[in-house]
Amino acid sequence: MKNVLITGGSRGIGKECVRSFANGGYRVFFTYKSSDREAAELADETGAIAIKADVSSFEDMKRAADIIHSTSSIDIIINNAGISEIKMIQDISENDWDAMFDTNIKGMFITVKCFLDDMIAKKRGRIINMASIWGEEGGSCEVHYSASKAAVIGFTKALSRELAPSGITVNCISPGVIDTDMNDHLSADDKKELIYETPVGRMGTGGDIASAALFLASEERSFITGAVIPVNGGFM
């Protein structure tokens, strides 16, 4: 049985990844930052192991690694934890900028550092990072979010080259407009407009993204690395 770690697993896309991987026969560990009730309910539902940890903290993630390594090692990392924010650049503070990058890209670096040796020892592994269409195209009033997700793409491409000789693939999924609580700030009219701009005629779901993660995690995908997989309904 393969072991998967999903960061930010208690809500949204992460929650659907936990469900899909658990249903797919994987042993699932997931981290969460503050959603205690949601994490406990998901763990009860799926049999996954929930670990409270902030991905932007080396101390927290080292503690999470110690918990996991007491019984298991990780075969697959899904770096999903992330935050977003709508602000004009004049209103983005230094703290806003740092918080965005600490969670969205530094968190990936820390997580990989804590679990990479598991994969190197086995000469195989999968690292799957969550980017965004806005990291590819840029989103107005989301400069710090778009920049952090563009960094995810650069991180993925560079790391894929470094780890390929160790049998480890590194890819990222680039979601389009997904119907999760991260987009709850959108008005009904905003959502209607985004659906209109999406050729398939709907917003994506967490399950759409989880399916792509399952695809990349498979043993049969060993020749796919450094890729940016768009899951956006043709939005671009």
Catalytic residue numbers read: 145
Nearest to 233 by CA among 212, 209, 203: 203
Is the distance from CB of 76 to CB of 125 less than 8 angstroms? yes
Helix (H) or strand (E) holding 168: strand 168-175
Strand partners, 171: 128
Is the distance from CB of 151 to CB of 101 less than 8 angstroms? yes
User: What CA–CA distance (Å, rounded) separates 36 from 108?
Assistant: 22
Work out the angle at residue 143's Cα, subtended by the Cα atoms of residues 137 and 144, and round it to the nearest 5 degrees: 120
